[in-house]
Amino acid sequence: MKAEYNLSPDLFNVASREDRNAEKIHRPSIKYWPDVWRRLKMNHLAMTGLILIIFFSIMAFVGTEINGFKYFEQNYDLINVHPNGVHWFGTDELGRDLFTRVWYGTRYSLFIGIMAALIDFLIGVLYGGIAGITTRRVDSVMMRIAEVIYSIPYLLVVILISVVFTQAGQGSSLFILIFAMTLTSWVPMAILVRGQVLQLKESEYALASESIGGTKNWILRKHIIPNTLGPILVNVTLSIPRAIFAEATLSFIGLGIQAPKSSLGALANDGLAGLPVGNAYQILIPAIFISLVMFAFNVLGDGFRDALDPRLRK
């Protein structure tokens, strides 16, 4: 189709060199983490989780001060009161305000969950990183040790340690609890990191680094670890709810956190007695809180996984 316009002869002169830019890059620069964040934002479920987590974290400290009752305040006149306008979540069998106690418990549940996940992360990355980068023989030995550790029944470990330390009259039960929990739970993280390291070790840019003189240590630090942070982040985020639930279970059976401190699991345990006598709210409310917190971390972790998956890039 011929164009219907007049073409002046001048247009047929040579275009200047400067006018043509052959190496231009048109798109704006996309950095890695901002792009991950952008993709995460598009995932409404994950964002809901994130908002919930922020809400719970803030309320864990603010919530205990809102209605004026202290978490340890006992009031024998007001035992087992159902939720009303004064005690929004009711009271327990010692007359303590449940609203305040639940937020107080959230504090410890979150703390334990995050600490446990952090410790798993630190040990896992160190152990898995070394196993991945070292010789096959050392790697084999390290992995066998890890498997043996992991196969020890977790509950057994916790009970043993609790008993040992209680007998020895040692310090805060909180740190003993975390210690007992993380003694075996770091193994999956180590296995993940090792797998990532093994895979990335073979990547061509790791090889290229070796060819310019990079030592194993250098390659691990500069090339491998930064590229494993994605999957590690997913795993850390997902291990928090696992740790929270583990603690809740332990506290529920009486092995976890001791009075006067309390966690959501301990509260659920306290509330168990209320179930047969019509005070279901005493166990229901902590249970709902546990579920919500776990849900929030799980969807956030899933969201991270999707946001980091290069194949799902939109």
Partner 1 sequence: MENVLEVKDLKISFKTFFGEVEAVRGISFKVGKEETIAIVGESGCGKSVTASGIMQLLPMPPAFFKGGEIIFNGENLLNKKEKEMQAIRGNKISMVFQDPMTSLNPTMKIGKQIVEGLVKHHKMSAEDAHKKAIEMLELVAVPQPGKRINQYPHEFSGGMRQRVMIALAMVCNPQLLIADEPTTALDVTVQAQILELMKKLQEQLEMSIILITHDLGIVADMSDRVIVMYAGQIVETGLTEEIFASPKHPYTRKLLASVPRLDMNKDEPLYSIDGTPPDLYIPPKGCSFYDRCTEAMKICKDHVPDLNEHNDTHLSRCWLNHPMAQKVYSMDGGEK
Partner 2 sequence: MTEPLISARNIKKYFDVGGGQLKAVDGISFDIYPKETFGLVGESGCGKSTAGRTIVRLYEPTGGELIFNGKNIYKLSRKEMQVVRRDFQIVFQDPYASLNPRMTVEDIVAEPLDIHQMYKTREERSERVIELLRLVGLGDEHVLRFPHEFSGGQRQRIGIARALALNPKFIVCDEPISALDVSIQAQVVNLLKDLQDRLGLTYMFIAHDLSMVRYISDRVGVMYLGHMMELAKSEELYANPLHPYTKALLSAIPIPDPGIQRNRRRIMLEGDVPSPINPKEGCRFVDRCSYAIDRCRKETPAFVEKGTNHFAACHII
Give the footprint of partner 1 on this chain (CB under 8 A).
1-3, 7, 9-15, 19-27, 313-314
Angle between helices 187-201 and 136-151 (to 10 degrees): 160
Burial of 312 (0-12, 13-18, 19+ CB in 10 A): exposed
Report the partner that residue 168 touches, choosing among partner 1, partner 2, none (CB closer than 5 to 8 A by kind).
Answer: none
| Phi, psi (rounded to 5 degrees) for 309 | -75, 115
Nearer Cβ to partner 1 (15/212): 15
Which of partner 1, partner 2, none has residue 210 at its interface (CB below 5 to 8 Å by kind)?
partner 2
Residues ≥6 apart with Cβ < 8 Å to 289: 102, 105, 106, 264
Nearer to partner 1, 29 or 135 (CB): 29
Contacts of 205 (CB under 8 A, 6+ apart): 223
Give the SS3 label for residue 246: helix
Minimal distance, residue 36 CB to partner 1, in Å: 13
Residue 211's binding partner among partner 2, partner 1, none (Cβ under 5 to 8 angstroms by kind) is partner 2
Alpha-carbon Rg of the chain, whole angstroms?
28
CB of 223 to partner 2, least distance (A): 5
CB of 215 to partner 2, least distance (A): 8
The answer to whether residue 32 forms part of the interface with partner 2 (CB under 8 A) is yes
- Closest CB to partner 1 among residues 11, 168: 11
CB of 302 to partner 1, least distance (A): 21
Query: Up-side HSE of residue 139: CA atoms within 13 Å toward CB?
Result: 15
Residue 55 binding partner 2, by CB under 8 A: no
Contacts by 270-273, CB closer than 8 A, 24 or more apart: 270/92, 270/93, 271/92, 273/93
Strand partners, 97: 91
Q: In this structure, are residues 77 and 89 in contact, taking their beta carbons and an 8 Å threshold?
A: no
Q: How far is CA 192 from the centre of its chain?
A: 15
Torsion of CA 243, 245, 250, 256, to 10 degrees: 60
* Structure tokens given for 283: 């166990």
- Nearest residue (CB) to partner 2, 214 versus 231: 214
C-beta closer to partner 1: residue 10 or 204: 10
Binding site partner of 2, from partner 2, partner 1, none, Cβ cut-off 5-8 A by kind: partner 1
Q: How far is the CB of 24 from partner 1 (least distance, A)?
A: 7
Chain positions 181 to 240 lying near partner 2, rule: CB under 8 A, are 203-205, 207-214, 218, 222-223, 226-227
Q: How far is the CB of 206 from partner 1 (least distance, A)?
A: 24
208 binds, among partner 2, partner 1, none (CB under 5 to 8 A by kind): partner 2
Which residue, 226 or 254, has its beta carbon nearer to partner 2? 226
Q: Could you tell which of partner 2, partner 1, none binds residue 136, using a CB distance below 5 to 8 A set by kind?
A: none
Nearer to partner 1, 137 or 314 (CB): 314
My answer on whether omega of the bond before 9 falls inside 30° of 0, hence cis, is no
Give the interface with partner 2 as residue ranges (CB under 8 A): 23, 25, 27, 29-32, 203-205, 207-214, 218, 222-223, 226-227
